[in-house]
Amino acid sequence: MTRSRRARLWQIRLELAAGAAPAIAAVEAILEAAALSVSRFERARGKRWRIEALLAARPRSAFIARLAEAAGLPLARIHAAPLPVRDWVAESRAKLPAIRAGRFFLHGSHFRGHPPTGSLALLVEAGLAFGTGRHETTRGCLLALDALARGRIERPLDLGCGSGVLALAMARLWGVPVLAADNDPAAVAVTRENAAKNGLAELVRAVRSEGYAAAMLRRRAPFDLVTANILADPLVQMAPDLARHLAPGGRAILSGFFVDQERALIAAHRQAGLRLERRWRLGEWSVLQFRRPARAARRPRQAQ
């Protein structure tokens, strides 16, 4: 057991309304400058955000007061407490069983069995980046990819790659170079590690990018398949960018949102020129598959 895993960590937790964007940004900026990790989770069906951070030492009262001021919350609403001294990584991995999603078989390094015959096995550890295949949105995207298995894919992109599980799945499925992108450097590093562990380092290239801004994305575009398991709001905002980076006839698999958010996603992508082709619903979560028409629709002739 390494000393770093046994070190006492402190957790800070607070909740803010989803509409309090300036406060959320201010809080995350403060935490990111001091914390080991910062995470944000949707609460109350997208109406609130929970922000959590891990620190290597006990936060000082002045630091808590600064957070409270930035959040516009009383001190009592900023929860700071030590975490028990335990090997959280080992415990989380041991509790995560292998799962099936179509032909994909995802497991951790603790798995001692044999992947089912005919399955596409992927080693994906629980870690700092989102995406072990156990969340409904990731499983739904894997099911959508499996449904496209017979099609020919040459230039896929996994935007907001997290742990890289969807990029790994596309590389395993089609055996072609896959570009993975995320705005979090930790996610980029985890994706590269997972690609190496699966023998896919030569196929999966991970880069840091804010949306589609990275030069590598511009050079590789247009893509014939884009996966983006992110959140509803950024997907809506990036709909025009997706349409610009998608090849004629190309498809996009989008998730990370609730069923009752589908209407906004469909409207934004329809306005960008994409057609809804298929949907999956796993509990309260949704996966939507869009397609860019191979040819622009002809306008009807006006009567003479």
Q: Which CATH fold would you assign to the domain 132-291?
A: Rossmann fold (3.40.50)
Can you give the pLDDT at residue 110?
67
Question: In tens digits, what is the pLDDT along the chain, a chain of 304 residues?
Answer: 333 444 578 999 999 998 888 899 899 999 988 888 888 888 887 788 999 998 989 999 999 999 999 999 999 899 999 987 665 555 555 555 677 787 887 877 666 677 777 778 888 865 544 555 567 888 899 999 999 998 999 999 999 998 899 999 999 999 999 999 999 998 899 999 999 999 999 999 999 999 999 999 999 999 999 999 998 999 999 999 999 999 999 999 999 999 999 999 999 999 999 999 999 998 889 999 999 998 754 444 444 4
CA distance 177 to 200: 9
Per CATH, the number for 3-86 is 3.30.70.260
Can you give the pLDDT at residue 20?
87
CA distance 170 to 257: 22
Domain with CATH 3.40.50.150 in the chain: 132-291
The CA angle 198-202-203, to the nearest 5 degrees, is 80
Can you give the pLDDT at residue 259?
93
Domain with CATH 3.30.70.260 in the chain: 3-86
Q: Is the pTM of this model over 0.75?
A: no
Structure tokens of 151? 């099609």
